[in-house]
Homo-oligomer: A and B are copies of this chain.
């Protein structure tokens, strides 16, 4: 079970409701309304196989943004847009000087994406707002829902562009200059679809940030648990590895005289997985891509190039895995006499989430009686950049068979509702409830 603390442990409940949301324990989102809005947004760019194709800054992205912003305006939210196209939809609090408690995600999708990835986080945020409105809740801090530009990176790289510029991971100029396969830039496309805003990215204050998201992995389903309390994001190291052997005929070359690059590569490929197991509980090791030269049936491979993806929960553990795989490669090279080159090609630091935000999510799950467990995020999310500039946390809900970035991506209405309820209560705790009025409908 990959070393995550088991759901049974979490069931014991070490968190208790804080004072901030006192008197609101009975509040629940309207799950049916949230589902309807999810399905309405999924119609923009709907694919024949039940998924969504709504690439960042396309006409469909513009239409999706228009639908979401229209809903926000129906709720009376104040809408602002920054220069990378991030949208902020604000429900005022009692104290306008307090930084907002923010939630959000993205509405761009993969080319063969699903209905939930990103969209869920944005629409769960709007459902929180509607629920507060329904019950006449006044919060101390403002509540905001953000839509981050180009999280997927399918059309323009880097990924998580809007939140990355917001957090200063790269510059606005770099992002604006990014081009799609047809040569169109992010700057031009933002302008064309009407989302080149005025705000300076990052100038927008954030008191704390929560993001609800489908897990995009199989852990919650495997444990039969509803709520993943996300404690942080794994650090990532990417490498290219080249094993140099000697190309030779499969027939006339006896086994003892071979320098078979693929056989040596196969050993190291297995060590990538062994390295992950040597660094539990969160170590992950993947060889995803392989190129064999000359890749001919009766020729002993002379050169094999493959990718290595190592992940772990802290930069120190990533460093340890880095040292481990390099030493293993050197040992195999020495044992076989075949040179092995391991080159790091990119790296993303591990990002722990804020203890206060993690606790707020845990307390909300306890209060609502949902099964829950701590999990780490192995994938990238806007919340990971937000965590660089504000206290941040995430809420995961199960997705069917862990499948995402796929038209068959699916989540159950019950889980969608549960995650939004946890988001509501975590945000209320951080924002503080100062008054509760009549139920509007």
**Counting CB contacts under 8 A, is A263 at the interface?**
yes
Cα–Cα distance between A26 and B368 once the two chains are bound (Å): 103
Contact mask for chain A residues 253-271; partner B; CB cutoff 8 A; 1 contact, 0 none? 1111100101100110110
> Is A250 engaged at the interface, CB distance under 8 Å to the other chain?
yes
Bound CA–CA A262/B288 (angstroms): 8
Find A288's partner among B218, B254, B297 (CB 8 Å cutoff): B297
A332 at the interface (CB under 8 A from B): no
Contacts of A292 in B (CB 8 A): 288-290
* A229 CB, min distance to chain B CBs, angstroms: 15
Report if A402 contacts B (CB, 8 A): yes
- The quantity of this chain's copies bound in the complex is 2
Residue of B nearest to A238 (CB): B297
Contact present for A286 and B250 (CB under 8 Å): yes
A270 in contact with B263 (CB, 8 Å) = yes
Interface hub of A256, A288, A292 (most chain B Cβ within 10 A): A288
Q: How far apart sit A295 and B248, CA to CA, in the bound complex (Å)? A: 25
Q: Quick check: is A251 within 8 A (CB to CB) of the other chain?
A: yes
Known: A250-B309, A288-B296, A309-B250. A255 touches B270 (CB 8 A): no
What residues on B are CB-neighbors of A404 within 8 Å? 249, 252
Q: Does residue A283 face the partner (Cβ distance < 8 Å to B)?
A: yes
Segment touching B, from A41-49, A136-144, A377-385: A377-385
CA distance A234 to B253 in the complex (A): 12
Interface contact A2-B379, CB-CB below 8 Å: no
Number of interface residues of A (CB under 8 A): 60
- When distances are taken between beta carbons in the complex, the residues of chain B under 8 Å from A378 are 249-254
In the complex the two chains form, what is the Cα distance from A255 to B284 in whole Å?
6
Q: How far is the CA of A2 from the CA of B253 in the complex (A)?
A: 9
Please name the residue on chain B nearest to A222 by beta carbon. B257
Q: Flag the segment in A177-185, A299-307, A427-435 that touches B.
A: A299-307
Instruction: Report how far A250 CA is from B286 CA in the complex, Å.
Output: 6
Given A248-B402, A270-B267, verify A253-B218 contact (CB < 8 Å).
yes
Contact residues in B for A38 (Cβ distance below 8 Å): none
Q: Are A216 and B284 in contact (CB under 8 A)?
A: no
Collect the chain B residues with CB atoms within 8 Å of residue A276's CB: 255
A311 to B295, CA, bound (A): 19
Asked whether A118 is an interface residue with its Cβ less than 8 Å from the other chain, the reply is no
* CB-based contact B311/A219 at 8 Å: no
Contact, CB under 8 Å: A252 / B402: yes
Separation in Å of the A19 CB from the closest CB of chain B? 35
Given contacts A255-B273, A288-B295, 16 further A-B contacts (CB under 8 A): A1-B256, A248-B402, A250-B311, A250-B378, A252-B378, A252-B404, A255-B276, A262-B288, A263-B269, A263-B273, A266-B269, A286-B299, A286-B300, A289-B295, A290-B295, A297-B309
* Chain A positions near chain B (C-beta within 8 angstroms): 1-2, 4, 215-219, 222, 234, 236, 238, 248-257, 260, 262-263, 266-267, 269-270, 273, 276-277, 282-290, 292, 295-301, 307, 309, 311, 377-380, 402-405
